[in-house]
Each structure stands twice: as C-alpha cells, then as structure tokens.
A and B are shown apart, each in its own frame.
Chain A
C-alpha cells in the first residue's frame, strides 16, 4: 500500500518541527527569565508581577497551551528521531574519533530528558504545589535557601544552557539559514542567548544562597 508522504513524516520535517517548537520554547524562556528579574526588585515587584499575570487568564492559559503543544511535538519528534538514529548505526565502532562535534551536541539526548524532569519539578515546586500560594517571592527565596533545591536549579539551568546552545545553532541550519557571510554570527547568537539565559537564571539561586537576596 502506498501512502502519500507529508513533511512531518520525513527526518527533515521532524527536525523542522523540533526547530520551530524549540524557537517557541526558547522565546518563552527569555520572557520567563526577564520576568524573574523582578526578584531583584523585592517582594512587592515580584508578587505584583505574578498577580498581574494571573489577572489575565487568556494570556496565561494561551501561553500554557502553546507551550504544552510545543513541548509535545518537540519531545515526540526527538524520540522518533532518536529511535531511528540508534537503529541507523547498526554495529558500533571499536575506535571512534570525533573531529568536529562539541560537548553540547553530543549530550543533547542527556540534556533533553534532564530538562524535562527539571521542568516537571519546577512546575510542581512553584506552580502546582507552592509552599505559600500567592507569595512568589517568599517561595523562591525560601526554596533557594535550601542548598539541595538551589543545586537542582543550578544543574537544571546548566543543562538548559547546553541544550539551547546547540538547539539555537542547529535551528538555523535545520530551517535552511546557512550563508558563508553570516555563519559565524549563528554561533555567536546561540552563545549570546544561551549564555545570557543561563547566567541570568543561575544568578537567582546563587544570589539567595550568598545571602544577597533575603526575605
């Protein structure tokens, strides 16, 4: 039986889906980080910002639905490609030398699942089962004062940094944006965005642990 083939059934189509959903998720991550900067402005700013968001249910639920969809297709495509790529090698090399790849690219299959677990934990911690509902600033500071919880966030954000570095860089290639004149900027932009988000996000638990942000 012959069936017609559509974009998402090809390996390239799956990568395009991963790139587009990745752009959505990275876009949200940037906004999420910028919102979190309210932590440095004190409890009123942080809780006020959260309250303002919550007073706009269409925005909150619209974002959640889009993100849920993006995560769903991103993970679905990743799993399908992962299974195919595992089968494609067949037998393993006895000797193998990497010439061009980097740490971030090699660990995508690790950083991805780690991020998924981290996002689930993060949602349970602050959104679904917060210690003090409505008191965002207090939840964050009290949470990060626990070195174990702060450690989980530090590890999660390091995984995020590596994952989105290779992700952003690859998204250009997957979506066909490759031009000798601009190629070096693709890498620079990937480094800039992933470094800004990672360093910024890491500053929150570290500031609390260092006692710079207190209740």
Chain B
C-alpha cells in the first residue's frame, strides 16, 4: 500500500482461439498507480500493445463494479486474485508491490472452453439455469407486496444464496472443476422461496443433470470454491442441493430425462 508507481512483470496466457494451443507471453506494466483497478492496469498494458501494433490481451469485463460476474481470471494461482470477497474488477493495484511478477490464466475447465486469451465460454452455466433455474409466474404488473408473505429469516437466506453472480470462480478454483457451488446457490435460492415451490421437485434433478452433462466434476468438499467466491456463497448450499436432489429423486413420480450438453 503506497503512493508509488508500480512496475510489474505480467505473464499472460495468450490463446488465439478455442482450437489453438495457448502459451504464456511476458509483458511489462510500467508506471501503474496503486489507485488503478486490476482491469485498468490491463487497459494500460493493452493501450501500449495496440500502439506497438500488437493484439491486445482479451479479457471479459462489463460493469466493473463487482456485481455483474463477467470479469474473472486466475491471478497468481487464485481465482479473482489475492483479495478475499472481491471480483477481478474490484481488485486494486494497491494489493501489489513494485517489481511483482503476476501470472494471469483463464478459468481452466472442460466446461469453460477458452474463447481467446483470458476469455472463456461460460454458457454452460446459462444452460444449467435454463434447465431449471426459473419460476413459472404470471408476468405483468408488479405483484402486491403483501400477497405472498416471506419470513424475514427465509428472505435473508434466499438473498445469501442469490448473491451468486455466476462468475464461475468456483469452477476455476475447484480441484475437480465442479460447478456445485454455482448450481447449489441457484437451486437453494429458489427452493427457499414460496415462488419456487411449484417446480421444486424437478428443479434440482434437472439442474444437477445439466451440471453433469456439461462435463463439470463432482464435489469432494475441499472448500476452494467458497474461499475464492467474491460473494461469499457458502458451502452450506451444496449440502442443501444434495438434500434437495435426494428428496426429489425419492419423492418424484415422473422420471427425469438424461440431458445433453
């Protein structure tokens, strides 16, 4: 933490496309102020690359406010970098020291094919949501607020699960590249609320089937996902997902169909 300007060495994963084999390229990031965000630092590096006629480092980003879940890369072996409960865009350069070497890698998972450099295809998570992460309600004008009472404690729990922004850091950090924390947060969020009850029986079964079909690994309770999650989504939701699935499998009267990717 200082006011000085940082000079950093970046080792960045460069990959031309989904088919190409990647490699690390080394770049110098010069005169970086400690007030810059990590992505702003990459913007500076990219400006210089473009000026020199090179191709800029591709990375995903959107809101840069830590709420959209678009950004994300593995920084020195940790998804979203060294600061806890922080997305890559909200990580600031004051977390680094002058002369640091920084390794940047994309989320690595079979379920997240690399599109280019540090950008990965996370539509697998969208397909898990499409499989069952929804509720069926009559849309239109906003519902009357007191029509469906939700207890404060329940609402708080559902909000905790709903904090997941779907960035995929859990998959990136998991030794098995498992999407359990993401899927569990989404299943739990909806199963806690009265609006989520009509599809409850099918939801866990469909979403877990899709999670498996996408080629993600299984949970082995290492807890790495919880440790890197920028929103602090708890492992407790995975236990709840397991309960939901077993309950649905035992109680269900119609079989669930095998899903394709």
On A, residues with C-beta under 8 Å from B are 2-7, 9-16, 81, 84-85, 87-101, 105-106, 108, 166, 169-170, 172-180, 183
Contact = CB atoms under 8 A, between A and B. Distances in A.
Interface in B218-261: 218-224, 226-228, 235-236, 238-243, 245-246, 249, 255-258
Given A12-B241, A13-B249, A85-B220, A100 B226 contact: yes
Nearest to A171: B221
15 contacts: A2-B257, A10-B212, A12-B245, A84-B176, A88-B109, A88-B110, A88-B176, A90-B177, A94-B11, A95-B74, A97-B77, A99-B228, A105-B221, A173-B242, A178-B235
Given A12-B245, A95-B103, A178-B240, A169 B208 contact: no
B105 A101 contact: no
Nearest to A175: B242
The 6 A-B residue pairs whose C-beta atoms are closest, nearest first, are: A4-B255, A178-B239, A176-B243, A88-B217, A11-B218, A97-B77
B205 interface: yes
Contacts of B178: 11, 85, 88
Given A5-B209, A176-B239, A178-B235, A95 B220 contact: no
A179 B239 CA distance: 9
B76 interface: yes
B192 interface: no
A88 B176 CA distance: 6
A94 B246 CA distance: 37
Nearest to B222: A101
Of A9, A97, A180, which is in contact with the most chain B CB atoms at under 10 Å from its CB?
A97
A57 B13 CA distance: 64
Contacts of B134: none
B119 to A, nearest CB: 15
A106 B174 CA distance: 12
Which of B222, B224, B236 gathers most chain A CB within 10 Å? B222
A99 B82 CA distance: 10
B175 interface: yes
A177 B239 contact: yes
A100 B176 contact: no
Nearest to B104: A95
B249 A85 contact: no
B221 A170 contact: yes
Contacts of B42: none
Contacts of B255: 4-6
A176 B220 contact: no
A85 B258 contact: no
